[in-house]
Homo-oligomer: A and B are copies of this chain.
């Protein structure tokens, strides 16, 4: 089954499925596998130096043989300008920006022929995307793993709000790990989905196997949004989580929390696989995957499209 809409047309893809650019997960292997399976793979620049990013772009381009792929750039990183330089030099066709203003880089990227999508967590920012001239908006709900919006708006409430706020192609993110959820997102007004959790736990993801196994064994309530005094972040329970929760319960300040977090803890958790002391970020939807195997990207995308098709057929 192929789906034709503004999102597939914009990116030149067959399935309106984007793999979110996730720290330590989204290297060239994951990104190229998703693009080769008909979706849009994103390299996650958030955990890379500009040099490492360049390597991943080169490898990804080699692996996709002319298919589109992209890079996700969190705009709060200190070396964004260098990242963007690498992206332009390597002629990456698509950039997803997040965690910042869509006004900052959109024109610069457009001048270089690069398509731009921006990730938002509120309809106010969706409106700003339209003003900034981005090509598509990703609206990411409270369910999503990792960094999250201050409004805590869930996908169910956010997608219709973003749909009202902008006429741009709209991509839903947060809580989507099945073809049924893809169709639900479509019914709510989205033309595509950005999926993180499901792809973070595939064979091609750069995450450590211990991280993947932990995330495929979560119960409901085993991820929670913490760190509201810094930047709201959905974390998986474990020793790292417990230390933060305990500090927050006794009213710890932002400074104290920063000290507890320390530096490089997502690497410790997600890449090195220390699931107790590292920072583990995954979406709430992981509990729906409990007991799944670590599958290939192709298996995942084929299942998503089959489920979507069956869900659609069951309505008529």
B156 with A220: CB separation less than 8 A: no
Question: Could you tell me the distance between the alpha carbons of A184 and B311 in the complex, rounded to whole angstroms?
Answer: 11
Question: Could you tell me the distance between the alpha carbons of A289 and B130 in the complex, rounded to whole angstroms?
Answer: 22
Q: Closest B-chain residue to A153, C-beta based?
A: B220
Tell me, yes or no, whether A315 is within 8 Å of chain B by CB. yes
Interface residues of A in 268-316 (CB under 8 A from B): 284-285, 287-288, 311-312, 315-316
Interface residues on A, range: 35 or more
Tell me, yes or no, whether A76 is within 8 Å of chain B by CB. no
With a cutoff of 8 Å between Cβ atoms, the chain B residues found around residue A260 in the complex are none
Which residues of A pack against B, CB within 8 Å?
122-124, 141-143, 149-158, 160-161, 164, 174-176, 178, 180-181, 183-189, 220-221, 224-225, 229, 249-252, 284-285, 287-288, 311-312, 315-316
**Residue among B123, B154, B184, B249 making CB contact with A143, cutoff 8 Å:** B154
With a cutoff of 8 Å between Cβ atoms, the chain B residues found around residue A154 in the complex are 141-143, 154-156, 175, 284
With a cutoff of 8 Å between Cβ atoms, the chain B residues found around residue A141 in the complex are 154, 156
B161 with A220: CB separation less than 8 A: yes
With a cutoff of 8 Å between Cβ atoms, the chain B residues found around residue A123 in the complex are 220
With a cutoff of 8 Å between Cβ atoms, the chain B residues found around residue A149 in the complex are 221
Question: Could you tell me the distance between the alpha carbons of A252 and B250 in the complex, rounded to whole angstroms?
Answer: 7
With a cutoff of 8 Å between Cβ atoms, the chain B residues found around residue A181 in the complex are 156, 160, 188
Q: Which 8 A-B pairs have the closest CB atoms?
A: A251-B251, A151-B221, A156-B175, A184-B184, A154-B154, A250-B251, A151-B220, A184-B187
Question: Could you tell me the distance between the alpha carbons of A261 and B183 in the complex, rounded to whole angstroms?
Answer: 42
A156 with B153: CB separation less than 8 A: no
The distance from the CB of A173 to the nearest CB of chain B, in whole angstroms, is: 11
Q: Closest B-chain residue to A179, C-beta based?
A: B187
The distance from the CB of A20 to the nearest CB of chain B, in whole angstroms, is: 16
Question: Could you tell me the distance between the alpha carbons of A174 and B141 in the complex, rounded to whole angstroms?
Answer: 14
Question: Could you tell me the distance between the alpha carbons of A141 and B285 in the complex, rounded to whole angstroms?
Answer: 13
- 24 A-B pairs within 8 Å (CB atoms) are namely A141-B154, A141-B156, A143-B157, A149-B221, A151-B221, A152-B224, A153-B220, A154-B156, A154-B175, A156-B156, A156-B174, A156-B175, A157-B284, A157-B287, A157-B288, A160-B178, A160-B181, A180-B188, A183-B187, A249-B251, A250-B251, A251-B251, A312-B315, A316-B316
